Structure 1
Amino acid sequence: MTLKRLKPGPRMSEAVCIGDIAFLAGQVPDDLGADITEQTKQVLANMDAVVKELGASKADIASIQVWLADMSDFQGMNAVWDEWVDRVSPPARATGGVALARAGMRVEMIAVVAMPKSV
């Protein structure tokens, strides 16, 4: 089976497709000085852009892992999530507290997406 890579770089690809499954790289916020609600909006917007570039939609997202630098941000992240999530086709989700890669980063998300057959 051939792997297809979206925007491969020297360290990672934005996504890697194996057959009809795409594995997204961790989506991170653009503004590391923003609060959890703004960072969550940025992460979800970045995820939407990658999913769209893959030719898929929010309803095609099978699973999302949410990583929070501070679990006290759980409610703030969920408030944004609840506005964003496809209520008819919500993905499976897990949330955990971790030390994230850069100072100021409050949230990172990774996703697995079912690809449309035409891609």
Structure 2
Amino acid sequence: MRLQRLNPGPRMSQAVLIGDTAFLAGQVPTDLTGDIAAQTREVLDKVDAVMAELGGTKADIASVQVWLADMADFQGMNAVWDAWVDAANPPARATCGVALARPGMRVEMIVVARAPR
């Protein structure tokens, strides 16, 4: 089975496919001035965009790792997540508190999904 790379760059690819399994790069917000709700919405919009490029939807997501800079944001992130997630097809999920790459970044998500394209 060969690897396929979606939008490869010098440092990383947007996603790497092995067969029909896609490993998305960490999705992060661009606007770091927003609160956890705004940043979570932006990250989930990016997940939706990559999934669409792979020919899938959130129903094709198998697993999500959610990284929060502050676990006090857990409820705020979950409020946005709960409005977004496909309740009929929820992925496995884990949430951790970590130091993120840039000041002001409150959330990052890593997705493993089926890529039906």
How would you bin the TM-score normalised by the shorter chain? over 0.9
- Separation (CA, whole Å) in 2 of partners of 1:115 and 1:107: 24
- Separation (CA, whole Å) in 2 of partners of 1:18 and 1:55: 15
1:43 to 2:48 alignment: no
- Separation (CA, whole Å) in 2 of partners of 1:56 and 1:113: 9
Q: What letter corresponds to residue 106 of structure 1 in structure 2?
A: R
Shift of 1:30: 1.4
1:10 to 2:34 alignment: no
Aligned to 2:108: 108
Aligned residues: 117
Shift of 1:10: 0.4
**TM-score normalised to structure 1 length:** 0.97
Shift of 1:64: 0.3
Q: What letter corresponds to residue 27 of structure 1 in structure 2?
A: Q
**TM-score normalised to structure 2 length:** 0.99
Q: What letter corresponds to residue 20 of structure 1 in structure 2?
A: D
1:85 to 2:85 alignment: yes
| 1:42-78 CA distance string (max 9 Å, x none) | 0000000000000011100000000000000000000
- Separation (CA, whole Å) in 2 of partners of 1:40 and 1:115: 23
Q: What letter corresponds to residue 6 of structure 2 in structure 1?
A: L
Shift of 1:97: 0.2
RMSD of the alignment, in Å? 0.5
Residue identity over aligned pairs, in percent, reads: 72
| 1:79-104 CA distance string (max 9 Å, x none) | 00000000000000000000000000
Aligned to 1:74: 74
- Separation (CA, whole Å) in 2 of partners of 1:74 and 1:58: 21
Q: Structure 1: give runs of 5+ residues left out of the alignment.
A: none
Q: Structure 2: give runs of 5+ residues left out of the alignment.
A: none
SS of equivalent to 2:8: coil
